């Protein structure tokens, strides 16, 4: 890390390591072996910045390290995995909450259940927010929208985009975030006769499929490309969603693609947009 054009802080951000790791100096009690392990950990995190100590330990198994060693050294050096840190699912105090309808349900058709969620993405000028709608049967991403603000409007627009192309779902599932519990959003669903389902409080795994999409999008594209503007990010997401739907093999779909699964049992209302 010897680049005079970038500050130490900028270099550390690019390599996904903390400045404490950069300035780390071996204490008198540290062995040469521990320093070698630290360097191996740093090398692994450069390639896989989302690994926690358990996965790092597994990746370095050939060095004979243990989880306990890796956890101790990472803690000492101030290293940790990349993970979301902002709460986006804040319920509205006076908003109506709906029951969770998916428990024990057999989802066997496209458009039987759609789900949605919001994530944040960091750009050089701050944070932007991304909402996406997924068909739970096929795992196909039906629509998405970016916004500078956490209001309900960009969520409604994403839903309208999906309905225009794919029709109306039987059930729409979300968390209890204020965007999805707002009257503007729920009245839109009720008008179309959509049954509303909401994840229970503290049940983060209820919306696991959209969470897996966020992970894939960020680790396979956004963290690698490091977009700096909204226009670049929008174009990048557009390309990745197309890849995710039509080319990326999904183990949970028996190595099929979401498009293959969706279109095998459904035909579009209108010709699918290339958004």
Whole-structure pTM value: 0.65
* Domain span(s) for CATH 3.30.420.10 in the chain: 113-263
pLDDT along the chain (275 residues), means of 10: 61 59 50 78 76 86 89 76 54 74 92 94 84 96 94 95 96 92 94 92 65 90 89 96 91 86 74 49
The domain made up of 113-263 has a fold known as Nucleotidyltransferase; domain 5 (3.30.420)
Cα 80 to Cα 101: distance, rounded to the nearest angstrom: 36
Report the pLDDT value the prediction gives residue 29, as an integer from 0 to 100.
45
């Amino acid at each position: 890390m010897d680049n005079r054009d970038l500050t130490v802080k900028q270099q550390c951000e690019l390599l996904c390591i903390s400045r404490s790791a950069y300035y780390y100096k071996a204490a008198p009690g540290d062995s040469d072996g521990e320093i070698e392990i630290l360097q191996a950990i740093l090398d692994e995190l450069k390639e896989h910045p989302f690994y926690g100590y358990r996965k790092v330990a597994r990746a370095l198994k050939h060095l004979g390290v243990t989880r306990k060693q890796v956890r101790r050294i990472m803690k000492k050096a101030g290293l940790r995995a990349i993970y979301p840190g902002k709460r986006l699912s804040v319920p509205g105090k006076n908003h109506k909450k709906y029951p969770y309808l998916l428990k024990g349900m057999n989802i066997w058709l496209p458009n039987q259940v759609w789900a949605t969620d919001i994530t944040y993405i960091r750009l050089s000028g701050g944070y932007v927010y991304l909402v996406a709608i997924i068909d739970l049967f096929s795992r196909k991403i039906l629509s998405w929208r970016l916004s500078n603000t956490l209001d309900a409007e960009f969520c409604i627009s994403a839903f309208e985009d999906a309905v225009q192309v794919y029709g109306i779902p039987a059930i729409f599932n979300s968390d209890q975030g204020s965007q999805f519990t707002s009257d503007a959003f729920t009245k839109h669903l009720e008008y179309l006769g959509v049954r509303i389902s909401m994840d229970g409080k503290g049940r983060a795994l209820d919306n696991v499929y959209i969470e897996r999409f966020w992970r894939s999008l960020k680790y396979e594209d956004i963290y690698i490309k490091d977009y700096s503007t909204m226009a670049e990010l929008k174009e990048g997401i557009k390309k990745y969603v197309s890849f995710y739907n039509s080319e990326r093999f999904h183990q949970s779909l028996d190595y099929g693609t979401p498009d293959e699964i969706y279109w095998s049992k459904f035909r579009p209302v209108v010709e699918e947009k290339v958004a």
